[in-house]
Amino acid sequence: MSTKDKIIKTSIMLFNQHGERAITTNHIASHMGISPGNLYYHFKNKEDIIRHIFALYSQHLHTQFVPMAKHDEAFTHLTGYLDALFELMWRFHFFYDNLGDILSRDEVLKKDYIEFQAALLSQVRELVIGLREGGMITIDDEDAIELAHMLKITVSFWTPYIKARRLSGELMQQDIYNGILKVLALFKAFATEQSIPQINLLREKYSALAAQAEPAS
């Protein structure tokens, strides 16, 4: 693995662990056992590192979060989506811990982010419409866009929400399952007679996973 990639990897780890604000370029370098000068040979500055991390994140999201084709197996696919999605959010959660700060210091990144989120909103809306077409949920067009927004908010800010409720501020693997349960509850609110048993089945599955190490949220 190249030094450049190692810097990215180390930065993600340290940012997630201690927060982007608390981690300086010196911390990153010293943790890797390289000099600050070397770090600045590979990256123009700290924002440059963050931009690369964001590129990584959005690229992962693009490849994993492709719109569904078959509506009838919607919820089966949904599980896979949610697992991958929350796992991704967990791996890059520092970004949403400090979203405002990070974006306000980098105009270029902010533009990319806005564009990216607009595309994402459309995709989520399509997914919601897809579930409707498959008879899984009942929802009018107006609420479909509202639901898409709420899904985005819930997924994006789930990790900061959890961290703020815990003195240690640490995230656990189980938190992912609790997040998925929130999304399932959202879908269940719009579910049809036909789909409710499927959702309840999923809920039981993730409830069991979430309960393995934690008291109920």
Partner DNA sequence: GTCTATATGTGGATAGAC
Partner DNA sequence: GTCTATCCACATATAGAC
> Which of a copy of itself, DNA, none lies near 35, with the C-beta cut-off 5 to 8 A by kind?
DNA
> Which of DNA, a copy of itself, none lies near 169, with the C-beta cut-off 5 to 8 A by kind?
a copy of itself
Question: In this structure, how many other beta carbons lie within 10 angstroms of the beta carbon of residue 117?
Answer: 13
Which of 46, 54, 38 is CA-nearest to residue 21?
46
- Residues found near a copy of itself in the complex (CB under 8 A): 18-19, 21-22, 97-101, 103-104, 110-111, 113-114, 117-118, 143, 146-147, 149-150, 152-154, 156-158, 160-161, 163-167, 169, 181-182, 185-186, 188-190, 217
Considering the complex, what minimum distance in angstroms separates the CB of residue 18 from a copy of itself? Answer: 8
Considering the complex, what minimum distance in angstroms separates the CB of residue 177 from a copy of itself? Answer: 13
Q: Pattern 76-115, binding to DNA, x per CB under 7 A?
A: ----------------------------------------
Tell me whether residue 3 or residue 45 sits nearer to a copy of itself (CB atom): 45
Considering the complex, what minimum distance in angstroms separates the CB of residue 18 from DNA? Answer: 11
Q: Interface with DNA includes 145 (CB under 7 A)?
A: no
Looking only at residues 34 through 63 of this chain, which bind DNA when binding is defined by CB under 7 A? 34-38, 40-42, 44-47
Looking only at residues 6 through 35 of this chain, which bind DNA when binding is defined by CB under 7 A? 24-27, 33-35
